Amino acid sequence: MNIEETRRKVREIIEPVIKSMDMTLEDMKLTKMGRKFFLRVVIDKEGRVSLDDCEQVSREVEAQLDVEDPIPSSYTLEVSSPGLDRPLRNPHDFKRFCGRTIRVVTSVPIDKQTFFIGEIVEANDTEIVLLLPKDKKVTLQYKDISRARLEVKF
């Protein structure tokens, strides 16, 4: 089994386990480091993810992977939350964080710039509207967004 097939199989195994715990699998990376594998799992849920949540998911995922044994050698498992400055990847993420301030980098210039920090005032299935400083609004198409993260305010 090649690495892509292994990734697919691992995802098929762990996603239902995480879902059964009322959480979502936000991201998963399986990389080979020498003879060992490194499996990084990012989970999320309504509210916030606690350390106890990460520990519980780690135990459950590890138990299921030990039974199914899809990874061909030993591995290290890391379970974490997306963090305060979590990436926004799809329309659901942007809609969920409507009203929050984000940092966006676009792949094409919009109004002669490719970097924006503003509050999401509207998000639909194709675009978002950001409220920038000085009450300026800009509309960004998802297809033009290369990176977006929540902005952390202290």
Do residues 22 and 72 share a domain?
Answer: yes
**Residue that terminates a domain, selected from 61, 80, 99:** 80
Domain presence at residue 86: no
In total, how many domains does the chain have? 2
Nearest to 104 by CA among 92, 95, 113, 91: 113
The tens digit of pLDDT for each residue in 70-82 reads 998 899 999 999 9
Residues 54 and 35 in one domain: yes
**In the predicted model, is pLDDT for residue 13 greater than 90?**
yes
* Predicted structure pTM score: 0.76
Q: Rounded CA gap, 137 and 119, in Å?
A: 9
Same domain, 47 and 11: yes
CATH number of residue 50's parent domain: 3.30.300.70
For residue 140, being part of any structural domain is answered with: yes
Coil, strand or helix: which one is 51?
helix
- Residue pLDDT, tens place only, 31-52: 988 889 999 999 999 888 999 9
Whether residues 70 and 9 fall in one domain: yes
| Residues 68 and 114 grouped into a single domain | no
Domain that holds residue 97: 91-150
CB-based contacts of 136, cutoff 8 Å, min separation 6: none
User: What tens digit of pLDDT does each residue of 84-111 get?
Assistant: 888 998 999 999 999 999 999 999 999 8
- Mark whether 105 and 45 lie in a shared domain: no
Whole-angstrom distance, CA of residue 104 vs CA of residue 33: 32
Specify if 85 maps to a domain.
no
Q: Which of 80, 106, 124 is the last residue of a domain?
A: 80
In a domain, 115, yes or no: yes
